[in-house]
């Protein structure tokens, strides 16, 4: 085999321009496929990161009616009991769960004022002591809620950045008293997400998919929630998984436990987990199905390249007829001649495959810079690309190799 490789490299090097032009179809095909696969992988990684966030791995489980989240402003739903302490402990004990928080929610909160400033649109959360760690929030002004704030039911709040800037523009909101539906609450802290993650927006489609208008959120201790709203409201759950790949399973198990609070036969309500992983996969599949068409188109270049290899190998066999005849006259077997030409064909396309991989990586980077589309180099695609190029050489080099192996040595010598 080593001798065949040496002969193959000598033959390729002795006809450098012809060999390069023969490789060109393989180079273009492999480069196109590597660039497309890298773009697909980069886009899919970005979709996953945009929808799930940067390492938070939190899954929201909420009460739904007919597939949509139930609006508690419509009143406490019939046939749905509050979660028990035992259920909450079961959820926190789910394998793969890092932490879990249970909270009340209102998507719309009116009549929020701080002095002369008012907040036209805001959402509200009645949170427990696990909420900030589960959702990835941290206090960057003031302090978070202490354990005594929950047990004493103090009338205090936390604001997110949007709410704080709207109610107290140009000054700190910590220590200010705000009115919510006529009830006074003292602001003890302003919070924000610890990871400061923002989705990457490259198009109008990305904007509508990822960008959700934030009108500001006010966080209350769950113990003071009934001061403004109702007693015995169903709670939502935010459960944090140890790893992204465990999010779907952890969310579904939490929803199953929470559905024990829904009376048997009550089909109107159910707790459902927001499966962001599945949503990301749906978006990835949509992107992948489009780009797979491009891969098939790029594969045509490989087919053309393979035909070019077969053509040039047939020319090579014709040029080296006397050499083949001499070798066979000296006792070379058909298998030896066959392997020599197959090795040369495979080496020709393998070198083209390596050059195609390099060109594909460069092309992927150029496309990423010029179009803003993320690209991530796929190592399996590189390995498969080189292996496939070698396979093309073997398949399309088989006919010329068989022709060389089956030459009659007397006829071959006579042709010279």
**Digit-coded pLDDT (tens) for 105-138:** 988 887 888 888 888 778 899 999 999 988 888 8
Secondary structure class of 64 (helix, strand, coil) = strand
pLDDT number for residue 353: 86
pLDDT number for residue 289: 64
pLDDT number for residue 21: 82
Same domain, 100 and 196: yes
Q: Determine if the pTM surpasses 0.75.
A: no
The distance from CA 14 to its chain's CA centroid, rounded to whole angstroms, is 47
In a domain, residue 275? The reply is no
Same domain, 296 and 345: yes
Domain boundary (234, 267, 300) is at 267
Q: Is 227 exposed, middle or buried (0-12, 13-18, 19+ CB in 10 A)?
A: middle
The CA angle 134-138-144, to the nearest 5 degrees, is 95
Q: Taking a C-beta distance cutoff of 8 angstroms, is the pair 100, 237 a contact?
A: yes
- The CA distance from 89 to 100, in Å, is 9
- The CA distance from 69 to 71, in Å, is 6
Tell me which residue range forms the domain holding 363: 2-49+282-415
In a domain, residue 60? The reply is no
- pLDDT tens by residue, 40-56: 777 777 666 655 554 56
- The CA distance from 177 to 160, in Å, is 15
- The CA distance from 101 to 241, in Å, is 12
Domain boundary (232, 267, 302) is at 267
- pLDDT tens by residue, 317-340: 776 777 767 776 777 777 777 787
In a domain, residue 277? The reply is no
- The CA distance from 222 to 147, in Å, is 12
In a domain, residue 272? The reply is no
In a domain, residue 57? The reply is no
In a domain, residue 159? The reply is yes
- DSSP, res 212: -
Same domain, 234 and 127: yes
- The CA distance from 219 to 186, in Å, is 11
Same domain, 255 and 116: yes
> Considering its fold, how many domains does the chain have in total?
2
Q: What is the torsion angle, in degrees rounded to the nearest 10, for the CA atoms of residue 52, residue 53, residue 58 and residue 61?
A: -50
Same domain, 182 and 329: no
Same domain, 244 and 290: no
pLDDT number for residue 3: 67
pLDDT number for residue 375: 76
Unique residue bearing structure tokens 């249970």:
102
pLDDT number for residue 33: 82
Same domain, 238 and 307: no
pLDDT number for residue 409: 64
Same domain, 106 and 212: yes
pLDDT number for residue 55: 52
**Average pLDDT score over the chain:** 79
Which segments in the chain show pLDDT lower than 50? 54, 197, 199, 201, 204-213
Same domain, 238 and 300: no
**Which of 356, 112, 69 lies closest to 215 in space, CA to CA?**
112
Phi, psi angles (nearest 5°) of residue 177: -105, 125
Same domain, 76 and 224: yes
Unique residue bearing structure tokens 């998919």:
209
In a domain, residue 247? The reply is yes
Domain boundary (227, 244, 267) is at 267
Same domain, 286 and 249: no
In a domain, residue 58? The reply is no
Same domain, 20 and 104: no
3-state percent helix, strand, coil for the chain, nearest multiple of 5: 55, 20, 25
Task: Output the six-digit token pair for 9.
Answer: 């490299």
């Amino acid at each position: 085999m080593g001798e065949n490789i040496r002969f193959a490299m000598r033959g390729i090097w002795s006809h450098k321009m012809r060999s390069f032009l023969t490789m060109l179809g393989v180079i273009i095909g492999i480069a196109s496929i590597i660039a497309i696969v890298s773009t697909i992988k980069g886009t899919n990684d970005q979709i996953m990161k945009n929808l799930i966030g940067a390492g938070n791995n939190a899954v929201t489980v909420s009460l739904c009616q007919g597939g949509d989240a139930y609006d508690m402003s419509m009143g406490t739903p019939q046939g749905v009991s509050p979660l028990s302490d035992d259920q909450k402990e079961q959820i926190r004990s789910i394998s793969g769960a890092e932490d879990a928080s249970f909270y009340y929610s209102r998507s719309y909160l009116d009549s929020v004022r701080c002095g002369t400033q008012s907040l036209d649109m805001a959402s509200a959360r009645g949170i427990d002591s696990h909420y900030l760690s589960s959702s990835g929030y941290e206090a960057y002004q003031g302090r978070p809620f202490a354990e005594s704030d929950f047990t004493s039911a103090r009338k205090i709040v936390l604001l997110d950045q949007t709410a704080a800037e709207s109610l107290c523009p140009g000054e700190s909101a910590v220590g200010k008293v705000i009115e919510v539906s006529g009830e006074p609450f003292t602001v003890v802290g302003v919070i924000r997400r610890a990871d400061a993650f923002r989705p990457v927006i490259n198009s109008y489609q990305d904007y509508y998919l990822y960008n959700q208008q934030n009108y500001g959120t006010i966080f209350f201790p769950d113990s003071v929630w009934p001061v403004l709203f109702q007693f015995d409201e169903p709670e939502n759950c935010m459960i944090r998984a140890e790893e992204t790949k465990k999010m779907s399973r952890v969310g579904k198990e939490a929803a199953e436990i929470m559905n024990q609070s829904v009376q048997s036969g009550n089909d109107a309500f159910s707790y459902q987990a927001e499966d962001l992983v599945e949503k990301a996969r749906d978006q990835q599949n949509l992107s992948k199905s489009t780009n797979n068409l491009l891969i098939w188109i790029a594969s045509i270049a490989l087919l053309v390249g393979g035909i070019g290899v077969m053509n040039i190998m047939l020319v090579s066999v014709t040029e080296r007829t006397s050499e083949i005849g001499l070798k066979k006259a000296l006792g070379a077997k058909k298998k030896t001649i066959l392997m020599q030409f197959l090795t040369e064909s495979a080496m020709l396309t393998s070198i083209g495959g390596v050059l195609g991989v390099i060109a594909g990586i460069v092309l992927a980077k150029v496309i990423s810079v010029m179009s803003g589309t993320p690209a991530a180099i796929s190592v399996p695609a590189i390995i498969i690309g080189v292996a496939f190029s070698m396979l093309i050489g073997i398949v399309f080099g088989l006919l010329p190799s068989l022709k060389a192996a089956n030459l009659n040595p007397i006829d071959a010598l006579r042709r010279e």
